[in-house]
A and B are shown apart, each in its own frame.
Chain A
């Protein structure tokens, strides 16, 4: 298999190399100098270039989309470097250049890693709790129309309340910040998954359910082996929204009340006007979301491999 490059592909490579040379060779503005940051930024550029070539190689069918996405990054990176890093066009405190931002990763990586671990632990616990409760409840509500008719008006009233509105009470009522934020993440993820499961059951062709009934299966097997897999496509789309919502809730909760975590890291440095650290924190959050989404997609396409290609 050979690597075939389009015009955009060559453009991406040229832009990355040009940015690399620019970052290393051209002196930074006096208030943006950071030798370690420059080295890290250069390292990131090399990594992105390698990632670009690797994804072209392993996903030749999606080369168009891959090229377009990387082209966007390859255009924005030098603009950032020139405007803020080299020329310092805007307020240098509020708009740090790449060298200073990436220097943060070198200096603060321990704190960031710690924050990442604590954030993911909260997110994982709350999200898993939501999956474990919302899916069975949703499947059962979808199956028992009468129960659904009772639960639906209630759910419609409660579900739009933003989870962070509960924050004051959860902090007072629950013993620790961790349990309070797990509860909030659970609430944010619960409704979309529940709705996904209920409508997933509704969307199953009744003829399939009839076919299952003629096999004389028990209600337990009906829910586990027929309704659950049949509703899974819809559960996944609910779970995707739930994931985004719970991530937002997590960072907001951390900004308000935590002592560690990704959201806390951004808020804490904002309080001290360390905008280079704020930008670094935002980049970290973005990378974490991209990585988690990637795994989410992989799990989804594996679980739904039976769908029409």
Chain B
């Protein structure tokens, strides 16, 4: 029962008189229970979109609606996982999750904060590390805690900003499967906005992929991913449809990158001739 609507979102940063357009009238509708991946080269404003939807930044134009209610600031109706900065280093695994739960209405009202926190720690297989501090855990374990925290808060929507970007490939596979497993397990599937720069990750996880292009950041194309769930990594990668979609995605991204390089080269030669 949660939809996300981005309506003509623009983000312009003013820098010493010159302005830089980070996002240019971005509009997306994400329907309830949809898993949508935002993919694009760095600097295309993917993370800015997450910051705007989570309420950390106010767009200079347009608005974000969650269940048709405009976003005015951060709130616990949205659960956010960042690349590696979601957990507080001075709290143990248990305390981190409990701290988040204390600030969400559901568990605090029911008085089940401690049992809920324990449940989600066990769910991601970190029961033994309940009282460990984040600095003593590996990057993969820390992200498991962040994900446990997000699920425990039971928000309407999940916002994930390259959550597995800092992990090695084996850990990443494990985390993707864990995320899909947990996501599919709930009574009703959450709406997810997932930022990544990994084409395979986007194809495996999402229902739709929004491809972005940089300067100014805008959505170039939205592609439906038709694969049935639950998806199997192995059979998926071997299917002709997957290969076709992947090469299509890569060509959009790649062409964007080539354009970008060309533009930079022009700029360089331009400035040389000017000098």
Residue ranges of A at the interface with B (Cβ–Cβ < 8 Å): 205, 207-208, 210-217, 221, 225-226, 229-230, 232, 305-309
The 10 closest A-B pairs by CB, nearest first: A207-B85, A229-B90, A214-B80, A306-B133, A216-B76, A213-B74, A306-B90, A308-B135, A216-B75, A211-B86
**Which residues of chain A come closer than 8 Å to B104, judged between CB atoms?**
216
With A217-B103, A306-B135: A208-B88 Cβ-Cβ less than 8 Å: yes
Q: Which residue in A214, A221, A230, A308 is a CB contact (below 8 Å) of B56?
A: A214
Residue ranges of B at the interface with A (Cβ–Cβ < 8 Å): 51, 54-56, 74-76, 78-80, 82, 85-92, 99-100, 103-104, 133-136, 153
CB pair A307 B89 closer than 8 Å: yes
Q: Which residue in A213, A216, A217, A230 is a CB contact (below 8 Å) of B90?
A: A230
Nearest A residue to B99 by beta-carbon distance?
A: A225
Residue in A215, A226, A229, A308 whose Cβ sees the most chain B Cβ within 10 Å:
A215
CB pair A210 B56 closer than 8 Å: yes
Residue in B99, B104, B136 whose Cβ sees the most chain A Cβ within 10 Å:
B99
**Which residues of chain A come closer than 8 Å to B76, judged between CB atoms?**
215-216
Main secondary structure of the interface of B (DSSP, over half): loop
**Which residues of chain A come closer than 8 Å to B89, judged between CB atoms?**
306-307
Nearest A residue to B92 by beta-carbon distance?
A: A306
Distance in angstroms from B19 CB to nearest chain A CB is: 23
CB pair A213 B88 closer than 8 Å: no
Nearest A residue to B101 by beta-carbon distance?
A: A215
**Which residues of chain A come closer than 8 Å to B103, judged between CB atoms?**
215-217, 221
User: Once bound together, how far apart are the Cα atoms of A302 and B134, in whole Å?
Assistant: 16
User: Once bound together, how far apart are the Cα atoms of A231 and B54, in whole Å?
Assistant: 25
**Which residues of chain B come closer than 8 Å to A306, judged between CB atoms?**
89-92, 133-135
**Which residues of chain A come closer than 8 Å to B91, judged between CB atoms?**
229, 306
Q: A213-B56, A221-B103 provided; 15 other pairs, C-beta below 8 A?
A: A208-B88, A210-B51, A210-B56, A210-B82, A213-B74, A214-B54, A214-B78, A215-B100, A216-B74, A225-B99, A229-B88, A232-B90, A305-B133, A308-B135, A309-B135
Main secondary structure of the interface of A (DSSP, over half): helix
**Which residues of chain B come closer than 8 Å to A305, judged between CB atoms?**
133
Residue in A216, A225, A230 whose Cβ sees the most chain B Cβ within 10 Å:
A216
User: Once bound together, how far apart are the Cα atoms of A229 and B136, in whole Å?
Assistant: 17
CB pair B82 A207 closer than 8 Å: yes
User: Once bound together, how far apart are the Cα atoms of A41 and B186, in whole Å?
Assistant: 75
Q: Which residue in A211, A230, A232 is a CB contact (below 8 Å) of B80?
A: A211
User: Once bound together, how far apart are the Cα atoms of A227 and B77, in whole Å?
Assistant: 23
User: Once bound together, how far apart are the Cα atoms of A212 and B89, in whole Å?
Assistant: 12
Distance in angstroms from B122 CB to nearest chain A CB is: 22
Distance in angstroms from B84 CB to nearest chain A CB is: 8
14 contacts between A and B (CB under 8 A): A212-B88, A213-B55, A214-B54, A214-B55, A214-B56, A214-B80, A215-B153, A216-B104, A221-B103, A225-B99, A230-B88, A230-B90, A306-B90, A307-B89
**Which residues of chain B come closer than 8 Å to A309, judged between CB atoms?**
135-136
User: Once bound together, how far apart are the Cα atoms of A205 and B83, in whole Å?
Assistant: 13
Distance in angstroms from A164 CB to nearest chain B CB is: 37
Distance in angstroms from A1 CB to nearest chain B CB is: 26
User: Once bound together, how far apart are the Cα atoms of A211 and B145, in whole Å?
Assistant: 14
**Which residues of chain B come closer than 8 Å to A216, judged between CB atoms?**
74-76, 103-104
Q: Which residue in A211, A230, A307 is a CB contact (below 8 Å) of B82?
A: A211
Nearest B residue to A205 by beta-carbon distance?
A: B85
**Which residues of chain B come closer than 8 Å to A307, judged between CB atoms?**
89, 135
**Which residues of chain B come closer than 8 Å to A211, judged between CB atoms?**
80, 82, 85-88
Nearest A residue to B134 by beta-carbon distance?
A: A306
**Which residues of chain A come closer than 8 Å to B133, judged between CB atoms?**
305-306
**Which residues of chain B come closer than 8 Å to A221, judged between CB atoms?**
103
CB pair B99 A215 closer than 8 Å: yes
User: Once bound together, how far apart are the Cα atoms of A213 and B71, in whole Å?
Assistant: 14
User: Once bound together, how far apart are the Cα atoms of A225 and B79, in whole Å?
Assistant: 19
User: Once bound together, how far apart are the Cα atoms of A208 and B142, in whole Å?
Assistant: 14
